[in-house]
Amino acid sequence: MSPATDALAAMPSLLGVAIAALISAVITWISRPLLQRYALARPNARSSHRVPTPQGAGIAVIAATLVVAAVWATLAHVAIPPALVIATIVIALVGFADDILSLPVLLRLVLQAACVGAVVFTAPETARIVPAVPLALERGLILFAGIWFVNLVNFMDGLDLMTVAEVVPVTAALLLLGWLGDLSWPAALIAAALCGAMLGFAPLNKPVAKVFLGDVGSLPIGLLLGWCLLELAWHGQPAAALLLPAYYLVDATITLFRRIVRREQFWSAHRSHFYQRATDNGFTVPRVVGEVFALNLVLAMLAVITARAGSMPATVLALLAGAVAIAVVLRRFSRPQAS
């Protein structure tokens, strides 16, 4: 093990998670009256909430994540890419502006592309997923996937505790993979800090939510989570990197293609995601979130098994099992519940 790894391994990781949770909870609580005044999300036909609710608590989550990860990295002599930190702050500011002013779609996409591109194209040339593919082509595809991932996290943040149910299992699994040596320590630190920050935010976001993340939270969370998963793929674990966010990927992607086929304005707000249809079909919010959380635990377990097994048969079986588990949940969400 390297000195940096020794230092990090010696540190009480759960303490870092707890500190991030505390910072996030305190900032969320303190900022809520200000958000109530300037960043109120009013319910409309597409909303899942019924009363005006302040949004923008993502400020607390991102601040806690970056502060704890930066301090932790300094103590452990680990380098977090400066481009990632700067891009995270910029994309959070873009999200905050959109929460308050509602920016034009094209402007949002351009700024998001700039932030994702800054992270992707400043990575070392040795960071590869498929070395046989030309570097420029691979990075271009990663850029496209990164922009989509940032937006799908935003699209899926439409129900109380939904993003918590997604991010906490994924980041916990990433931290575990870091301990096992299958993920770089900078990514493991970011994942651990983000996990704690989401746990600190959760009490005020549980049904019925007293505050929402807002775009200031969902967009940079998508960027940070996407980078961690990219690091996992770069470390030879693309199947695990695909399994961890698979529910969000499948729900959002199927919904997008459905809306494109129907010639709908797919960039506008709607209620056609599977988890939204579930609430229309008689599922309670806690039940939907609980099933998503349980599914993500299964996907996290499969991802860890895949990474540790290191064999093609195990990878194929894990991917098939993940696909079946997701299909079962999506089918359940699509069917009306008996009264």
In this prediction, residue 91 carries a pLDDT of 97
Angle between helices 285-309 and 312-334 (to 10 degrees): 170
In this prediction, residue 9 carries a pLDDT of 46
pTM: 0.92
Residue indicated by tokens 């402007």:
107
Residue 54 pairs in a beta bridge with 40
First vs last Cα of the chain: how many Å apart? 58
Across the 339 residues of the chain, what is the mean pLDDT of every consecutive 10-residue run? 46 82 96 81 58 88 97 90 97 92 90 97 95 96 96 91 97 94 93 97 93 95 98 96 97 91 74 89 94 98 95 95 97 85
Instruction: Concatenate the DSSP letters of all residues of 29-82 into one string.
Output: HHHHHHHHHH-EE---TT-S-SS-EEB-THHHHHHHHHHHHHHHHHHHT-PPPH
String of b and e for 124-144 (b: at least 16 CB within 10 Å)? eeebbbeeeeeeeebbeebbe
Give the C-alpha separation, 57 to 25, whole Å: 9
Q: Is the peptide bond before 61 cis (omega within 30 degrees of 0)?
A: no
Residue indicated by tokens 């900022």:
31
Residue 41 pairs in a beta bridge with 53
User: Which residue from 80, 54, 68 is spatially nearest to 24, judged by alpha carbons?
Assistant: 68
In this prediction, residue 8 carries a pLDDT of 47
